């Protein structure tokens, strides 16, 4: 509950700052929650997908093994993990089964090539966009069955988590890129 509260506070700050910026530009600041969510999802999607594209195919199995990094996910597993949770959050919002097999938390074991993994990622973002577009003022805060057991959640909470989680994974992807001498596209 604390995490959702923090995420909602972050969403409110983002929405407020965007609205304030538009007001200073002399434009109407008449945003819906869905528009704010879509804008932030577009931003994180661009960051994550460009980072996934920047890593060479031969480095997708890379995982640091020294120091505190021992036993962490490979780059491919980070990308598939991001997609897995995109599908989980979206299917919860839509209250349906994901349209593809998503495997375990590291995604399907059958996806190995960079092309397969990035396709899984981009399609997961498409599905998350679909889920956010299904939200409206009437269903935004209604309790729904969550992905974490019997505890109910809201569509808004799942959408915020669907934006928050890829940002966390993006931070890890950036570390892996830099460890391989690659400047992340968003930093170029």
CATH number, domain 30-187, options 3.50.50.60, 1.20.120.450, 3.40.50.720, 3.30.230.10: 1.20.120.450
Beta-bridge partner residues of 165? none
Spatial CB neighbours of 152, under 8 Å, sequence gap ≥ 6: 143, 144, 145, 146
- CA–chain centroid gap for 171, Å, is 12
Among the ranges given (70-74, 90-94, 122-126, 161-165), the one the predictor scored with the smallest mean pLDDT: 70-74
Quick one: pLDDT at residue 24?
46
Spatial CB neighbours of 11, under 8 Å, sequence gap ≥ 6: 36, 37, 40, 160, 163
The pLDDT of 134-157, averaged and rounded, is 92
pLDDT tens-digit profile of 40-79?
999 999 999 999 999 999 999 999 988 888 889 999 999 9
Prediction pTM value = 0.84
pLDDT tens-digit profile of 91-110?
999 999 999 999 999 999 99
Contact between residue 145 and residue 122 where contact means Cβ atoms under 8 Å apart: no
Between the alpha carbon of residue 148 and those of residues 129, 151, 158, 173, the distances in Å are 21, 7, 11, 25
Is the pLDDT at 127 greater than 90, yes or no? yes
| Domains of the chain by residue range | 30-187
What is the SS3 string spanning 41-89? Answer: HHHHHHHHHHHHHHCCHHHCCCCCCCHHHCCCCCHHHHHHHHHHHHHHH
Q: Which residue has the higher pLDDT, 98 or 21?
A: 98
Element housing 153 (H / E): strand 152-154
């Amino acid at each position: 509950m604390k995490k959702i509260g923090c995420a909602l506070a972050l969403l409110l700050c983002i929405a407020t700052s965007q609205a304030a910026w538009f007001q200073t530009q002399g434009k109407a600041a008449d945003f819906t929650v869905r528009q704010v969510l879509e804008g932030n999802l577009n931003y994180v999607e661009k960051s994550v997908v460009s980072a996934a594209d920047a890593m060479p195919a031969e480095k997708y199995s890379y995982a640091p093994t020294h120091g505190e990094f021992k036993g962490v996910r490979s780059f491919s597993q980070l990308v598939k993990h991001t997609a897995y949770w995109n599908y989980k959050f979206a299917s919860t919002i839509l209250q349906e089964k994901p349209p593809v097999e998503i495997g375990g938390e590291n995604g399907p074991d059958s996806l190995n090539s960079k092309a397969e993994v990035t396709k899984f990622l981009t399609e997961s973002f498409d599905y998350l966009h679909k889920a956010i577009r299904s939200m409206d003022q009437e269903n935004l805060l209604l309790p729904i069955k969550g992905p974490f057991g019997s505890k109910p959640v809201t569509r808004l909470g799942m959408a915020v988590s669907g934006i928050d989680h890829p940002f966390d994974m993006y931070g890890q992807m950036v570390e892996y890129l830099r460890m391989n001498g690659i400047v992340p596209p968003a930093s170029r």
